[in-house]
Chains A and B, each alone.
Chain A
Amino acid sequence: MSTLIVIDQPPYGSWAGREALDMAFSLAAFDQPVSLLFCGAGVNWLRKGQEPGTIRQKSVEKNLAAAPIFGVEALLADGGDCNRYGLESEQLLDGVTLVQADSQLFTKYSHTAFAG
């Protein structure tokens, strides 16, 4: 029973994405197969070199780096949304797979949960 957690919220300015990330880590901690999909404004999570110190927030980059350690199977990003936000592949964090977030992708998972 594999789960797709969809983060469609930006990394700062909304707490929903962070709480969705905790859901993914929690599933992985209980040995449940889980992957993360970033789409819409959520692709900004994957930007390299984030410096949110000036807005007194913790960088989500560090949190995301823990994903493979927790056992999250894949970090997926919608290619079209990356283009829309001007994210070239060299600006993306390591280990991200570009996909097309469509119904075909969703059918591969038995359970899908959205942030927010």
Chain B
Amino acid sequence: MQDSTPFSFTLVITGAPYSSQAPQSALSFAAAAIRAGHRVDRVFLYGDGVQLASALASPPSDEPHWPREWSTFLEEHGIPGVACIASALRRGLVDEGEQKRYELPASNLLAPFTIAGLGEWVEGRMASSRTVYFHGSD
């Protein structure tokens, strides 16, 4: 490596698992960054990317379970994973608080993901030395 100064990354995922490769590419990137001595400050799910935080995803057993793989990765490395609240509510992803507020029949947010506003993204891009986006195919 020419420059040994470690970077800190905010990752933004806007593509959903199973309809885009965005969450998978982001996970490979995050793992490689950490292996190389960099830091991942937070992962922000936006747009269709919020589908990654669904606790109800049940892919066939011979396919990778991207929500679970991401969840394990975040917990292992103590990285906050945040789903944008506006994107999440539109797409049927809610935590217990939003379930109560909107009187919905269930909640389905996968731990350790949390739901918060775009301010989390603004803060991430101000605090991290790099912000990297992983988009869907649109």
Q: Contact residues of A with B, CB < 8 Å?
A: 1, 3, 9, 14-16, 19, 22-23, 26-27, 30, 32, 111, 113-114, 116
Selecting from B23-31, B32-40, B114-122, the interface stretch reads B114-122
Which of these, A9, A16, A111, contacts B131 with CB under 8 Å? A111
In the complex, chain A residues whose CB is within 8 Å of the CB of B136 = 116
Chain B's closest residue to A3 (CB) is B125
Which of these, A1, A26, A116, contacts B118 with CB under 8 Å? A26
Closest CB in chain B relative to A18 CB, distance in Å? 9
In the complex, which residues 39-69 of chain B have their Cβ closer than 8 Å to any Cβ of chain A? 46-47
Contact with A along B106-138 (1 / 0, CB 8 A): 000000000001110110011000010101101
Chain B's closest residue to A8 (CB) is B138
Closest CB in chain B relative to A27 CB, distance in Å? 6
Tell whether, in the assembled complex, residue A19 and residue B46 are in contact, meaning their CB atoms are under 8 Å apart. Answer: yes
Tell whether, in the assembled complex, residue A32 and residue B126 are in contact, meaning their CB atoms are under 8 Å apart. Answer: yes
Chain B's closest residue to A28 (CB) is B122
Tell whether, in the assembled complex, residue A23 and residue B133 are in contact, meaning their CB atoms are under 8 Å apart. Answer: no
Enumerate the 4 nearest inter-chain pairs by beta-carbon distance, A residue then B residue, closest first: A26-B118, A116-B138, A30-B122, A19-B47
Contact with A along B78-100 (1 / 0, CB 8 A): 00000000110000000000000
Q: Contact residues of B with A, CB < 8 Å?
A: 12, 14, 46-47, 86-87, 117-119, 121-122, 125-126, 131, 133, 135-136, 138
In the complex, chain A residues whose CB is within 8 Å of the CB of B125 = 3, 111
Main SS at interface, chain B: mixed
Closest CB in chain B relative to A107 CB, distance in Å? 17
Tell whether, in the assembled complex, residue B122 and residue A27 are in contact, meaning their CB atoms are under 8 Å apart. Answer: yes
Tell whether, in the assembled complex, residue B126 and residue A1 are in contact, meaning their CB atoms are under 8 Å apart. Answer: yes
Tell whether, in the assembled complex, residue A32 and residue B131 are in contact, meaning their CB atoms are under 8 Å apart. Answer: no
Closest CB in chain A relative to B2 CB, distance in Å? 22
Chain A's closest residue to B123 (CB) is A30
In the complex, chain A residues whose CB is within 8 Å of the CB of B46 = 19, 23
**20 A-B residue contacts at CB 8 Å?**
A1-B126, A3-B125, A9-B138, A16-B47, A16-B138, A19-B46, A19-B47, A23-B121, A26-B118, A26-B119, A26-B122, A27-B122, A30-B119, A32-B122, A111-B125, A113-B12, A113-B133, A114-B133, A114-B135, A116-B136
In the complex, chain B residues whose CB is within 8 Å of the CB of A32 = 122, 126
Closest CB in chain A relative to B126 CB, distance in Å? 7
